[in-house]
């Protein structure tokens, strides 16, 4: 997430690190599960610039998430009477300072969607799907895998791909909410695919460097202040829009 006041990037390695380095302006907050690797990223980002901040974050650990949210409470101020459960939500945090939100998804979300049952495809492609319905679908996938019936229930055999469907669909839901609540603030939220990048997960044979993988996220994060869009789109590599539907 980026703003005039600074940048917050989750995942301080690979293309996310390159993304943060290219965006660096004002206050930079890097997060990572591994504190040692996160601190190493902070040292790499210094190089004559203001000191970046690091905060440990494990998205599988609710306490870790709450600790990070608490560190951002300054966005509201100590005297703010906004209920804490509202302060802890993403969209209010965006409204206070952030003007561009870039969620890193993957082309795998489109490929995986194609391999879902027609019923699941219809649900994930719905223009009115809610966050609660999406969470319900993600939880059902987990439960179906535990029971060994996920393929029978119409799910593809890839947890990573389904997780990226979740990222893309959640981005569309959040963008829709922002559009409904928009009051001239022009907050633009998009999901994107950095491409096949040489990271720990993708391996050394991937064709793109971390810097090349950061190109599309940086483009979306640095959209001009007066830009009306893109908003609520799924972007693939090379800064091109990809519609949210299965390949033909």
Residues labelled as active-site residues: 160
Strands 98-104 and 2-3: antiparallel
Supply 120's token pair: 């699941």
- State the Cα–Cα distance between residues 108 and 106, nearest whole angstrom: 5
CB 117 within 8 A of CB 137: no
**Beta strands, E only, the chain:** 2-3, 6-10, 27-32, 53-56, 98-104, 188-192, 234-235, 241-242
End-to-end Cα, the chain, rounded Å: 33
- State the Cα–Cα distance between residues 183 and 175, nearest whole angstrom: 14
Rg of the chain over all Cα atoms, to the nearest angstrom: 18
- State the Cα–Cα distance between residues 114 and 48, nearest whole angstrom: 47
CB 204 within 8 A of CB 146: no
- Look at the alpha carbons of 75, 62, 9, 182 in this order and tell me if their dihedral is positive or negative: negative
């Amino acid at each position: 997430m980026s703003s005039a006041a600074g940048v917050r990037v989750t995942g301080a390695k690979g293309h996310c690190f390159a993304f943060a380095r290219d965006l660096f302006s004002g206050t930079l907050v890097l997060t990572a599960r591994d504190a040692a690797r996160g601190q190493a990223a902070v040292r790499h980002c210094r190089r004559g610039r203001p000191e970046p901040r690091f905060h440990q974050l494990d998205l599988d650990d609710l306490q870790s998430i709450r600790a990070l949210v608490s560190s951002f409470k300054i966005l509201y101020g100590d005297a703010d009477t906004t209920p804490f459960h509202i302060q802890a939500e993403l969209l209010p945090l965006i409204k206070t300072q952030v003007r561009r939100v870039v969620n890193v998804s993957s082309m795998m979300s489109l490929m995986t969607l194609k391999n879902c049952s027609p019923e699941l495809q219809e649900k994930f492609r719905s223009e009115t799907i809610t966050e609660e319905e999406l969470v319900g679908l993600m939880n059902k996938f987990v439960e179906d895998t535990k029971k060994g019936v996920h393929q029978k229930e119409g799910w593809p055999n890839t947890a990573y791909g389904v997780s990226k469907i979740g990222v893309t669909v959640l981005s569309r839901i959040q963008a829709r909410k922002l559009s409904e609540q928009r009051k001239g603030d022009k907050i633009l939220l998009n999901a994107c695919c950095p491409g096949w990048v040489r990271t720990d997960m993708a391996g050394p044979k991937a064709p793109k460097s971390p810097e090349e993988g950061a190109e599309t996220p940086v483009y979306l994060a640095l959209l001009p202040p007066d830009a009306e869009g893109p908003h609520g789109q799924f972007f693939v590599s090379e800064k091109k829009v990809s519609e949210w539907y299965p390949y033909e």
